């Protein structure tokens, strides 16, 4: 499998651009495609692009908070120790790649944002622990393993399309003729079976692509990155001590060492009580939320969970502020790129380009194959509109109407779109940006491996939705 993957890795490393460049090139391609395939002219298309730029601002803020809070949480004492123990579990390279993929996959099925961040943090920790033991691991493949687990997210508990059609009062309830409960989508036996098979396949696939020691180049996590990580922890401890007036003797005006004593403000900054108050308040809210709504997850609830645990596991307010400050460098790329993806979504929706593509797929479908064509259509459109919720809102009504005309079970359409949405994320860096920021690696280093995942998972997802449609 490594031999098969090698050409993809070679081509991607040489021709796949920086993720920001990818977003700009994609914007240009979509601009001309909209002009050529719809009735919109250049001015209308440009207007749709400009109107769409702000379309992901709320999502950007949510994702930025996810990265900040998860990064800070991972560097608290209890979680850092837990990740270290988990990172020491693999005894060989096969186990290392499989462990990262498995944890990322299971976490993504639970909550997609959780899976992205946990996978990246675990990949980094496994690399650090392996390097300390002399186990050589290919860091790009390790990070790719974390992203590969994300290929299952839309089949799981936080899948936006199945949750949307199960929510009372949603915009499509009247069109569908009622709600589609999650027992017919996320928890349908055929979806669970496809998810389990997919997880087994991807956990097996990633270790098979590992480069052979002595024959292939192995790019380990650099000594500089490991040293920087450890220096960051030491600097944090030193700054905390200095800010809390615990640095020992400092010189006075005469040059004589004088023992400093913490001021009232410094004591407030350093007390654990003040960090526990908001942490326990959030915990009480989350307990009430889950007691009222069950295990209903949203991105906001995931963020409040990360924030709650980060506060509870921190030693003081100042400690948590320092952790957030250290994490802030991870969100810069994310904030500048997402408006361009929002602009692409605006062009495709505002000019009717999405309807053109979806209408063509529905025109060649039958009752048993409509779900499969919804899968392929969603996969294609996800390269340009990488947002599960936004994509379903535009594409869903077209395929639901076709399902009613052909007599297809609408739950198959919902999951077909979900499968396609998650599938081509393996060739689209939109969701990889926060993961890459945490792991500290370039997108072109992992995308060759994830394209192999894209190819293999086509047969799993396509076969699963075809069998479901035939049943």
Residues 317, 411: Cα–Cα separation, whole Å: 47
* Per-residue confidence (pLDDT) for residue 199, from 0 to 100: 98
When mean pLDDT is compared across 26-35, 206-215, 238-247, 364-373, the lowest value belongs to 238-247
Average confidence (pLDDT) over 198-210: 96
Which pLDDT belongs to residue 104?
Answer: 94
Decide if 102 contacts 203 (C-beta within 8 A): yes
Beta strands of 230-365 (E only): which ranges?
249-251, 257-259
Q: What average pLDDT does range 437-461 have in this prediction?
A: 91
Report the candidate in 190, 198, 197 with the shortest Cα–Cα distance to residue 371. 190
Would you place residue 206 in the very low, low, confident or very high pLDDT band (cuts 50, 70, 90)?
A: very high
Return the structure tokens found at 425. 């994320």
pLDDT digits (tens, 9 = 90+) for 218-254: 888 877 777 766 777 777 777 777 666 554 444 555 5
| pLDDT, mean over the chain | 85
Which of 113 and 208 is assigned the larger pLDDT? 208
- The residue that leads in pLDDT, 392 or 346, is 346
Residue 464 backbone dihedrals phi, psi, to 5 degrees: -65, -45
Q: Which residue has the higher pLDDT, 200 or 353?
A: 200
End-to-end CA distance of the chain: 33
Contacts of 194 (CB under 8 A, 6+ apart): 155, 460, 461, 464, 465, 468
What's residue 423's pLDDT? 95
Assigned token pair, 157 = 């508990």
Mean pLDDT of 416-422: 93
281 has a pLDDT exceeding 90: yes
What are the counts of helices (DSSP H) followed by strands (DSSP E) for the chain?
23, 2
Euclidean distance between CA atoms 294 and 107, whole angstroms: 18
Tell me: the pLDDT tens digits for 109-145? 987 877 888 898 899 999 999 988 889 999 999 999 9
3 state DSSP class of 311: helix
Distance CA 350, CA 346 (A): 6
pLDDT at 247: 46
pLDDT in tens, 74-115: 788 898 888 888 989 999 999 999 999 999 999 899 878 778
pLDDT at 8 over 80: no
DSSP conformation class of 216: S
pLDDT per residue over 290-342, tens digit each? 999 887 667 688 789 889 999 999 988 988 998 888 888 777 777 888 888 88
Q: Give the C-alpha separation, 151 to 435, whole Å.
A: 14
For the chain, domain boundaries: 1-226+328-470
The pLDDT assigned to 258 comes to 55
What pLDDT shows up at residue 56? 78
CA 158 to chain centre: 12
Structure tokens at 255: 């040059």
Share of the chain above pLDDT 70, in %: 90
DSSP state of 373: H
pLDDT at 285 over 70: yes
Q: Give yes or no for residue 181 having a pLDDT over 70.
A: yes
d(CA 12, CA 6): 10
More confident call, 157 vs 261: 157
| CA atoms of 397 and 170, how far apart (whole Å) | 12
Phi/psi at 251 (5° precision)? -75, 140
């Amino acid at each position: 499998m490594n031999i098969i993957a090698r050409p993809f890795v070679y081509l991607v490393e040489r021709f796949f651009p920086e993720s920001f460049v990818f977003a700009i090139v994609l914007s240009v391609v979509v601009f001309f495609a909209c002009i050529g395939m719809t009735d919109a002219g250049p001015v209308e298309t440009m207007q749709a692009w400009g109107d769409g730029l702000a379309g992901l601002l709320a999502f950007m803020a949510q994702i930025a908070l996810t990265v900040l809070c998860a990064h800070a949480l991972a560097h608290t004492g209890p979680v850092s120790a837990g990740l270290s123990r988990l990172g020491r579990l693999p005894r060989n390279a096969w186990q290392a790649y499989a462990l990262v993929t498995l944890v990322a996959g299971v976490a993504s099925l639970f909550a997609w944002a959780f899976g992205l961040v946990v996978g990246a943090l675990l990949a980094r920790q496994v690399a650090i622990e392996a390097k300390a033991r002399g186990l050589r691991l290919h860091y790009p493949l390790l990070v790719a393993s974390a992203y590969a687990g994300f290929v299952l997210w839309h089949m799981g508990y936080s899948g936006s399309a199945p949750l949307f059609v199960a929510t009372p009062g949603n915009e499509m309830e009247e069109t569908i003729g009622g709600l589609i409960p999650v027992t017919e989508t996320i928890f349908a036996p055929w979806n669970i079976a496809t998810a389990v098979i997919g997880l087994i396949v991807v956990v097996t696939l990633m270790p098979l692509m590992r480069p052979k020691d002595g024959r292939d180049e192995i790019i380990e996590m650099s000594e500089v990155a490991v040293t920087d990580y450890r220096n960051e922890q030491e600097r944090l401890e030193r700054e905390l001590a200095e800010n809390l007036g615990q640095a020992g003797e400092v010189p006075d005006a005469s040059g004589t060492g004088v023992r400093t004593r913490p001021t009232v403000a410094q004591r407030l900054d350093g007390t654990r009580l003040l960090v526990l108050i908001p942490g326990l308040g959030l915990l009480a809210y989350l307990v009430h939320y889950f007691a009222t709504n069950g295990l209903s997850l949203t991105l906001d609830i995931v963020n409040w969970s990360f924030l709650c645990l980060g506060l509870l596991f921190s030693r003081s307010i100042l400690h948590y502020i320092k952790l957030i400050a250290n994490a802030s460098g991870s969100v810069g790329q994310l904030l500048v790129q997402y408006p361009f993806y929002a602009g692409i979504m605006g062009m495709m929706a505002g000019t009717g380009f999405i309807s053109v593509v979806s209408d063509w797929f529905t025109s060649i479908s039958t009752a048993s194959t409509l779900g499969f064509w919804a899968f392929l259509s969603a996969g294609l459109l996800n390269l340009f509109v990488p947002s599960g919720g936004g994509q379903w809102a535009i594409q869903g009504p077209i395929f639901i109407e076709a399902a009613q005309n052909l007599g297809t079970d609408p739950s198959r359409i919902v999951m077909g779109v979900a499968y396609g949405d998650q599938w081509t994320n393996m060739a689209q860096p939109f969701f990889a940006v926060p993961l890459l920021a945490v792991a500290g690696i370039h997108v072109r280093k992992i995308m060759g491996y994830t394209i192999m995942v894209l190819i293999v998972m086509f047969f799993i997802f396509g076969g699963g939705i075809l069998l479901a449609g035939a049943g």
